[in-house]
């Protein structure tokens, strides 16, 4: 299964996928491209060190969003992956890409959806909201991407304890280490081995 991973930042989830393929936790999968909207992202360094083509494409390089969306979709069609993985990717996926790659785009979100998700909930903001609400358990979710924001069929979730004294940064790190970097490779492996189907918007394993 050929995958393209879309990133915007540090690329720790990309690294978990690279490592998972190397150590056999992810079977039958090859990363054929990394797309990034931020030329300075360390994720591009991780891709380069792993010998993977890094492609930088940003809405900032185009006169309007429609032009970017067309260029982004053209590039994705050219790469033609079996699966698109959004790993810390902060750009809205064009509707036409969701339609073209229906149930072939997955995203990792750092909360237990439907909590602390949707427009405006990304990165540290998610953990700030969880701490502000006083939840005792949070976690991460892998889901298929549909036309909404964090609203597609849920594939995998993993819970993580919130501890006294947690700051957003400490909690983010624990959620990445104990949840994101585990369930994202697992989800990719399950899809690669044909274990996942979607029926009436619900994932069947
Ligand atoms: C992480 O908080 C992750 O949950 C979210 O994006 C942030 C950066 O991820 N999806 P990464 O280190 O770039 O993979």
Instruction: Identify whether 109 is a catalytic site residue.
Output: yes
pLDDT above 90: percentage of residues in the chain: 97
Average pLDDT of the residues of the chain = 97
Whole-number Cα distances in Å, 201 to 98, 146, 191, 204: 15, 10, 16, 10
DSSP three-state, residue 162 = coil
Q: Contact, 172 vs 124, CB < 8 A?
A: yes
The one catalytic residue in 12, 68, 109, 188 is: 109
Dist. CA 87 → ligand 1 center (Å) = 6
Give the model's pLDDT for residue 100.
Answer: 97
Which atom, in ligand 1's list, is nearest to the CA of 14? 14
If one counts the domains in the chain, the total is: 1
The domain spanning residue 51 has which CATH number?
A: 3.40.50.170
Pocket test for ligand 1, best of 12, 46, 88 (most atoms within 8 A of CB): 88
Tokens describing residue 117: 């998700």
Express each pLDDT in 37-55 by its tens digit.
999 999 999 999 999 999 9
Which of 85, 97, 117 has its CA nearest to residue 7? Answer: 85
- pLDDT, tens only, 93-103: 999 999 999 99
What pLDDT is stored for residue 128 in this prediction? Answer: 98
Top mutation candidate among 126, 180, 183 for ligand 1, by most atoms within 8 Å of CB = 180
> pLDDT-derived band of residue 175, with 50, 70 and 90 as boundaries?
very high
- Residue 176's pLDDT band (boundaries 50, 70, 90)? very high
Using one digit for the tens of pLDDT, what is the confidence trace for 116-166?
Answer: 999 999 999 999 999 999 999 999 999 999 999 999 999 999 999 999 999
Band (203; pLDDT cuts 50, 70, 90): very high
Tell me if 17 sits within 8 A of 2, measured CB to CB.
no
Structure tokens at 34: 């990394």
Instruction: List the domain range (segments joined by +) for residue 23.
Output: 2-204
Q: What's the CA gap between 11 and 36, in Å, rounded? A: 10
Residues with Cβ within 6 A of ligand 1?
7, 9-14, 43, 87-88, 108, 110, 123, 172, 176, 180
Task: Please compute the mean of the pLDDT values over residues 177-188 and round it to a whole number.
Answer: 98
pLDDT grade for 13, boundaries at 50, 70 and 90: very high
At residue 142, the pLDDT reads: 98
pLDDT band of 20, cuts 50, 70, 90: very high
């Amino acid at each position: 299964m050929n995958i393209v991973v879309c990133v915007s930042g540090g690329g720790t989830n990309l690294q978990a996928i690279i490592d998972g393929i190397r150590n056999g936790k992810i079977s039958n999968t090859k990363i054929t491209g990394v797309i990034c909207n931020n030329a300075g992202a360390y994720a591009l360094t991780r891709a380069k060190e792993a010998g993977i083509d890094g492609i930088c494409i940003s809405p900032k390089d185009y006169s309007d969003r429609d032009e970017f969306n067309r260029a982004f979709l053209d590039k994705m069609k050219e790469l033609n992956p079996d699966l698109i993985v959004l790993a810390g990717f902060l750009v809205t996926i064009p509707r036409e890409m969701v339609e073209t790659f229906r149930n072939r785009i997955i995203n990792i979100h750092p909360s237990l959806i439907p909590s602390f998700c949707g427009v405006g909930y990304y990165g540290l903001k998610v953990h700030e909201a969880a701490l502000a609400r006083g939840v005792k358990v949070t976690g991460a979710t892998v889901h298929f991407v549909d036309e909404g924001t964090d609203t597609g069929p849920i594939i995998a979730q993993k819970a993580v304890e919130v501890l006294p004294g947690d700051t957003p940064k400490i909690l983010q790190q624990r959620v990445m280490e104990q949840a994101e970097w585990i369930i994202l490779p697992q989800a990719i492996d399950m899809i690669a081995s044909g274990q996942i189907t979607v029926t009436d918007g619900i994932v069947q394993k």
